[in-house]
Amino acid sequence: MRYAVLIDADNVAAKYTKYILDEVSNYGVVTYKRVYGDWTRPNLAGWKGMALDNAITPVQQYSYTSGKNSTDSAMIIDAMDILYSNNADGFCIVSSDSDFTRLAIRLRESGMYVIGMGEQKTPKPFSTACNAFKYLEILAEEELQSSDDTEKVELKTLESAIIRIIAESANLQEEINIGELGSRLQSRYPDFDVRNYGYSKFSQFLKDFDSLSFRQVGSSILVSQKSDKTDLRMIEEVLASIVRSNGTKGYNLGELKKQLCTKLPDFSVKTYGYSKFSRFVENLPGFRIKNNTVTIFEK
């Protein structure tokens, strides 16, 4: 079906343009796109650029009398001209003004399918006179929700890619330097930019993924996938708690392992790429082993 879209710029904000055109495209092909107003008035400045960007023809209608809306009559005249031209199968009348009620009824009487669009303040007579009426605020909310859903899908795709990169490129400890991770992700998705998702740093972006763990080694950040069995951060906290329970004396390495396995039965150093418990502990930040005794040094 062919639709004529006629917009009352005096009663509709320019910010809704995209939502209007997208919604009408669900019904058919837009053959007429016109927006009506007095373009000498500064309050319509926003519509000028929007009309240009969307190939909408601006129709000048001067306000001959103060306080009177002459835009309505211009739209009505054009609507009837288009009706009699037989070049449209339906109309989309965009306004929050009840003055278009009679126009909607007349077009329907002539066999036209009439879509009305306006803000939620639109009087009931106009909305019920149309075959279908769409509230612009609702269309905008649906678009934003759709954008949110799309972003969630994109983030899930990126998360899967990050996990694959870690699996393919990580060291024996199944960790990868955050800089290398960023470079590999960029090579797979050249248009990737954390700013598209509201972040200024790659590290901040990554830390919103619950599936990832982070370890600071000097000035470097190492990234790994969280273990399905035991979270490394939890292990560090449990070990620190056990060692501190013995004051400043430290804790015997063998006893520490026994205590840890009692509290976390699924723990295994092999999960983290080690064959010895001592090597695992030595590589945890803040832990030191001397004479088979584990102590914690505060940074």
Architecture of domain 146-225: 2-Layer Sandwich (3.30)
CATH classification number, 2-130, choose in 3.40.50.1010, 3.90.850.10, 3.40.50.450, 1.10.1660.10: 3.40.50.1010
The domain spans of the chain are: 2-130, 146-225, 232-296
146-225 matches 2-130 in CATH topology? no
0.85 exceeded by pTM? no
Least reliable range by pLDDT among 143-147, 183-187, 189-193, 223-227:
143-147
Three-state DSSP at 77 gives: helix
CATH classification number, 232-296, choose in 3.30.160, 3.30.300, 3.40.50, 3.30.420: 3.30.420
Rounded CA-CA distance 5/59 in Å is 13
Count other Cβ atoms within 10 Å, centred on residue 80.
Answer: 14
Higher pLDDT residue, 63 or 250? Answer: 250
Higher pLDDT residue, 95 or 171? Answer: 95
Higher pLDDT residue, 190 or 185? Answer: 185
What's the first-to-final CA gap in the chain, in angstroms? 72
Q: pLDDT grade, residue 146 (50/70/90)?
A: low
How high does pLDDT run on average in the chain? 86
Report which DSSP code applies to 21.
Answer: H
73: nearest Cα among 5, 15, 6, 122: 6
10: nearest Cα among 92, 75, 79, 95: 95
pLDDT at residue 229 is higher than 50: no
pLDDT, tens digit (0-9, with 9 covering 90-100), for 46-93 = 898 899 989 999 998 876 544 445 678 889 999 999 999 999 999 999
Q: What is the mean pLDDT of residues 135-148?
A: 74
154-187 in b/e form (b: 16+ CB < 10 A) is eeeebbeebbebbeeebeeebbbbbeebbebbee
Cross-strand partners of 7: 35, 94
